[in-house]
Each structure stands twice: as C-alpha cells, then as structure tokens.
Amino acid sequence: MPSVNKVLLSGNLGANPELKVTPKGTFVTELSIATNHRVKEGEAWVDRTDWHRVDVWGKTAELATKYLQKGSAILIEGALRTDTWVDAETDKKRSKVRIFCERLHFLPRTRDVGTAPAATTIVPLAEVTPVEVAEEVDIPF
C-alpha cells in the first residue's frame, strides 16, 4: 500500500532565519514557525500557539534568509523527517521529528491584506535532492 508523508503549515516566523553552510557547501536554514488555534477551556475560548521547526535547503534557504524576517507570514509544503542519534551523555537513543521544506510560499502579512493586493511568491526547492540531504544530515538508513 502506498504511503503519504505531506505537511502543509501556514504561520509566522518566530525568529529571523540564519543561513548556514554545510561542509559540502550546501546552504541550510532552520525556520521556527508559529501556528495558532483556539481551544475551549470551560466557558472561555483561549488562543494557543504551536511551534514547528522546518529545515530549508539549497537556494530556497538562501532566498528565505534574504527575504524573510521574524513575523513574516509563510506557507510551507513539506514532509516529516525523523533524526535519530545516541546521546553522548546518557548513551540513550534519541530522536526528533522535523519538517523538511519542499516548497516555500511567501504570504502577505495579515495587517497588509487590506491595503493592496499582493501576489504569493513561490520558491521551489532548488539544487538539493533528498539523497544529498540525507547524506548531509547523516540519517542512518
């Protein structure tokens, strides 16, 4: 049976992206994206924020670092990836789930929506294949 691993996130950046370069010369940045939702607690509705870490590679990482800043509204299309390692201090196996960005859409900020029509800019994943990414982050499979 085929499987599907697809993530769509629309939110705001919680920090300015920082461009890094791997030893092989590939650009990478980690985005911290906030998404909001409301939950009912008793009789009152309360706003909640979830934070997501998104890895962006190649030319897309370079462009994200150049054009995005804390508070920027974005839409991410991607897939879940699990990093696994052994903790050096406890010698226990650890893992964390991250989002691998496949496409990045720049969105107009909420407060800008009523002022002028803005086109969504789509930045396709460029110059990086999943094989290169797997080799870079040393995923053990």
The string of DSSP letters for 35-49 reads EEEEEEETTEEEEEE
Using one digit for the tens of pLDDT, what is the confidence trace for 110-135? 654 444 444 444 445 444 444 444 44
Using one digit for the tens of pLDDT, what is the confidence trace for 1-49? 889 999 999 999 999 999 999 999 999 999 999 999 999 999 999 999 9
How many CB atoms neighbour CB 12 within 10 A?
18
User: Which domains, ranges and CATH numbers included, belong to the chain?
Assistant: 7-83+96-137 (2.40.50.140)
The string of DSSP letters for 4-35 reads ---EEEEEEESS----EE-TTS-EEEEEEEEE
pTM as predicted: 0.70
d(CA 93, CA 134): 19
Residue 41 in tokens: 């607690």
> What is the residue-averaged pLDDT of the chain?
83
